[in-house]
Amino acid sequence: MKTLVLKITGDAKNDEAAIAKAAEIIRNGGTVAFPTETVYGLGANALRGESVQKIYAAKGRPSWNPLIVHVSSRDMLNSLVTDYPQGFDKLAAKFMPGPLTFLLPKSDKIPDEVSAGRNDVAVRMPKHEIARKLIEAAGVPIAAPSANRSGRTSPTSAEHVLEDLDGRIDAVLDGGTCDVGVESTVINLMAQPPMILRPGGVSKEAIEETLGMPVTLFEKSAEGTDVKALPSPGMMLRHYAPNAKLYNIEGDKYALFAAADKAAKEGNKVGVLLPSDWQLPENIKAEVYDYGTWGDWDTMARRVFAGLRGLDRKKVDVIFAPMPPKEGLGLAIRDRLLRAAK
């Protein structure tokens, strides 16, 4: 199939037409990649199983890995779930819309293809204006995982989407680059205490402060565990992988430089996700991607996926990435880098 590129230009008439076209494709059962504040999603009508199946086919996604449903209003959300657990109102008041996904008991409107046969559905209201307008125009909730081939790095631009999915999806709505850069935080409020199933765009600290209580973090259990029995099956996957071999470096800049130097001397083409304020010694041969100032985890989150893809495009053999601490969005960056390096 030919993938239609619908460009958002800032011209009101053009943009309205682009969104209307994308909405029509969704209503007619097709697939459209669209920008959100986190990463690009690959959307289809969440109320129709046969439309949702096209997402799995385009991505090569295993059928046991459920999808997030995106809504544009509380009314739309109300029709998809049967109950709201304790804590929902507090978090929704602050992060809905926003990069926070809630696991909620699903109503019978949600097809099995969306929830992968589970009793709960993951739901999020994106903050991104184009995403919101698309859902409103489509008039239906939109199921959307990240718009990458399964196992690959999540896309933060329409170019990234086309790198992976050109010819496999009906259209991409090109709304520029994503602001947050890592996916939403997924939270299960029905667990006692509440459990973050995937760290993401809303920090653990912000959630705890809003709820006024500590929450736990789902840590991936050993390899070989039955994915269907896990609270969040997607967390089991090797994911976000660049073509190059990724090495995560704990410790200071000297540890990073030493590792890069050694690999270069062994004959590898080396890539480095390099904080802007770390000066790479001149004798070390490496391609560098400007990662933002060390300590500015928000900027590093925005750049991490683009950095991995950018270094891949330079055909490096190995990539070295400094690991941020488990603080703010550093937690989400660490999670993505750990799974990309497996």
Q: Which residues bind ligand TXA (CB under 6 A)?
A: 36, 38-39, 41, 65-68, 99, 101, 103, 115, 118, 120-122, 124, 144-146, 183-184, 186, 197-198, 232-235
Residue 103: CB minimum distance to ligand TXA, A: 5
Nearest residue to Mg ion on Cβ basis: 146
Q: Which does 15 bind (CB under 5 to 8 A by kind): ligand TXA, Mg ion, none?
A: none
- Cα separation, 205 vs 328, in Å, equals 7
Q: Which does 184 bind (CB under 5 to 8 A by kind): Mg ion, ligand TXA, none?
A: ligand TXA
Q: Which residue, 39 or 300, is less far from Mg ion as judged by CB?
A: 39
HEC states along 90-148? Answer: HHHHHHCCCCEEEEEEECCCCCHHHHCCCCEEEEECCCCHHHHHHHHHHCCCEECCECC
Q: Which residue, 67 or 71, is less far from ligand TXA as judged by CB?
A: 67
Q: Which residue, 235 or 337, is less far from ligand TXA as judged by CB?
A: 235
Q: What's the chain's length in residues? A: 342
Cα dihedral 235, 236, 241, 245 sign: positive
Residue 37: CB minimum distance to ligand TXA, A: 8
Whether the upstream peptide bond of residue 97 has omega within 30° of 0, thus cis, is yes
Nearest residue to ligand TXA on Cβ basis: 234
Residue 264: CB minimum distance to ligand TXA, A: 34
Q: Which residue, 34 or 291, is less far from ligand TXA as judged by CB?
A: 34
- Which residues of this protein are in contact with Mg ion, per CB under 5 A? 146
Residue 271: CB minimum distance to ligand TXA, A: 24
- Cα separation, 274 vs 287, in Å, equals 9
Q: Which residue, 153 or 184, is less far from ligand TXA as judged by CB?
A: 184
Q: Which does 144 bind (CB under 5 to 8 A by kind): ligand TXA, Mg ion, none?
A: ligand TXA
> With contact defined as beta carbons under 8 Å apart, do 210 and 69 qualify?
no
Q: Which residue, 3 or 38, is less far from ligand TXA as judged by CB?
A: 38
Q: Which does 316 bind (CB under 5 to 8 A by kind): ligand TXA, Mg ion, none?
A: none
Residues whose CB is less than 8 angstroms from the CB of residue 291 and which lie 6 or more positions away in sequence, other chains included: 273, 274, 275, 276, 299, 300, 303, 304, 307, 322
User: What residue spans of the chain are helical by DSSP H?
Assistant: 12-27, 49-59, 74-78, 88-95, 112-115, 129-138, 158-165, 204-211, 253-265, 297-313, 330-340
Q: Which residue, 270 or 340, is less far from Mg ion as judged by CB?
A: 340
Residue 96: CB minimum distance to ligand TXA, A: 13
Residue 124: CB minimum distance to ligand TXA, A: 6
Q: For residue 329, what are the CA distances in angstroms to 2, 182, 186, 206, 294?
A: 37, 9, 14, 10, 12
Residue 36: CB minimum distance to Mg ion, A: 12
Cα dihedral 246, 340, 174, 275 sign: negative
